[in-house]
Structure 1
Amino acid sequence: MIKVKQLAHVCIFAHDLEATRAFYRDVLGLDTQFNFLRDGKVFGFYLNCGGRSHVEVFQKNGTAYSEQNQINHFCLEVENIDAAIIHIKSNGVDVTAKKHACDDTFQAWIRDPNGVKIELFEYTEKSAQFTGGDRIADW
């Protein structure tokens, strides 16, 4: 039997590798863990999401995010969603208002420079992720 420890990484494609690196570093505070090199040039990198989780990014010219036939979004847990929203806005990035979701988490949404949707989560003591139990979707 397999036992999954945690999500290791999510992979995204970037049409502008350095603009994408700057967004994740400056807006979300994710540092580069390491780069992928080919012929002496960087063509991708790993971003540290804390613990042993990462976002993996690769250059892919002409890439465009689409809602069809792929992962819809990824989610990052933050310590203080109100502070995160203020910081994101101060970097000139559009962010939704904080919402108290049906799973008893707080959430907000942004997009990276490639259009990839990113959900920001702040858990509460009542979050279904910890307490279990079915929740009625309100969207």
Structure 2
Amino acid sequence: MLGIKQVHHIAIIASDYARSKAFYCDILGFTLQQEVYRAGRDSWKGDLALNGQYLIELFSFPTPPVRVTHPEACGLRHLAFAVENIDCACDFLAEKGVACEPIRVDPLTGKRFTFFSDPDNLPLELYQA
């Protein structure tokens, strides 16, 4: 069994980071928990919460492509699912014919994660919680 427990977070790439941050925070009521500038990628990353629950990673990238065929395109970047055991989850997906990328470690959190795709190539993530 795959063992998905919940949606972990939603990552969104904004064409205008400040405008999107204002929209999510000032209009929709999210709170900015943390904001990091990643110089190597010339990118902002804001962690947004709703009612104290972390839900959205808001990103900026210089001139992201408009089409959603690239992983760094404007709009939904990926949908992440929290799992208890990422190795078991990857094995389960492999048994179903779904390939996962090699498991990586998030340098900010130290947690393990991987990506795979849905039938339309929407990037999906497994994040070991």
Which TM-score band applies after superposition, normalised by the shorter structure?
Answer: 0.3 to 0.5
User: Larger Rg: 1 or 2?
Assistant: 1
Query: Where is the strand percentage greater, Structure 1 or Structure 2?
Result: 2
TM-score by length of 1: 0.40
